[in-house]
Each structure stands twice: as structure tokens, then as C-alpha cells.
Amino acid sequence: MNGQYFAAFTALAGSAIGGLMLLASSWLTQNAQYRADELAHSKGRREELYKDFIEEASLIYADALQHDRAEIAKFVKLYSLIGRMRVLSSSKVVETAESIVSVIRKTYREPNKTFVDADIASSDAFDPFREFSEACRDDLRSRGSLF
């Protein structure tokens, strides 16, 4: 009879081990899927944040080129976007966003410009967003993989 008990025990043990392996495999799969979903969601949130910042800062920068008076209310949204970046983004992205705001503030203090003035269309001064865009791209790439 000991042989029969041993056979029954090994069959039950095999079933239990198989069930545990199935459970572990399912858990690992679900965990990997959850991480992938979270990563995609985080990347999407950052992409939307960067887009919003570029759009808002572009409008204010265009205003700064044409006017010499800054309205504080226009900067509020920029600072709120930068605050969100401090939570979600790398320090390089935040630093370059802050430098854009600094450029905009300085531009308000300068004389008004037209498109023809000082050939600004071909200068780097007309595109203060280049460094920010590159920092955003690097941030999205560096934190864009699971491993």
C-alpha cells in the first residue's frame, strides 16, 4: 500500500507544482503588462505636457517679439506646466523650459521686432525651443523602455 500512497502523493504534488507554475507565470505576465501600460501612459502624459508647453510658450514668445509689455497672467500657465514637468520629467527638461521663460522675459524688455529685423528668421534667437525639444526627445527615449 505504501506504493499506492506514494503514487497518489506524487500525482497531487505534480498537480500542485503545475498549478503554482501556472499561477507564477500568469502573475509575471500580468506584472509585465501592467509595467508596459504604465510606461506607455507616462510617456503619453509627458508628450502631451511638452506639446502644451511648446504651444503656450510659442504664443507668448510671439507676443514678446511684437510687444514690450508682459502680462503676468500669460506666464501663469507656463509656470504651472513647468511645475508639472518637475514631477514628471528629467531635470534637463525642466532647466531648458526655465531657460525658455527667461528668454521670453528678456524679449519683452527688448525693442519690438519684425520678421525682417536683424534677420531673426535665420538666427538661433528665433528658435529658443531647439534645446528644449532635444531634451524632451532624450527624456522620452531614455525612459521609454522597460529595461
Task: Supply the pTM of this predicted model.
Answer: 0.72
Cα–Cα distance measured from residue 54 to residue 127, given in angstroms and rounded to the nearest whole number: 11
For the beta carbon of residue 29, count every other beta carbon within 10 angstroms.
10
Domain ranges of the chain: 44-142
Give residue 124's pLDDT.
Answer: 55
pLDDT in tens, the chain (147 residues): 577 888 888 888 888 888 888 888 888 888 888 888 787 888 889 999 999 999 999 999 989 988 888 888 889 999 999 999 999 999 999 999 999 999 999 989 888 877 666 455 555 556 789 999 999 999 988 875 543
Cβ neighbours of residue 139 closer than 8 Å, sequence gap 6 or more? 46, 89, 90, 92, 93
Which pLDDT does position 147 carry in this prediction? Answer: 38
Q: Which residues contact 144 (CB under 8 A, 6 or more apart)?
A: 39, 43
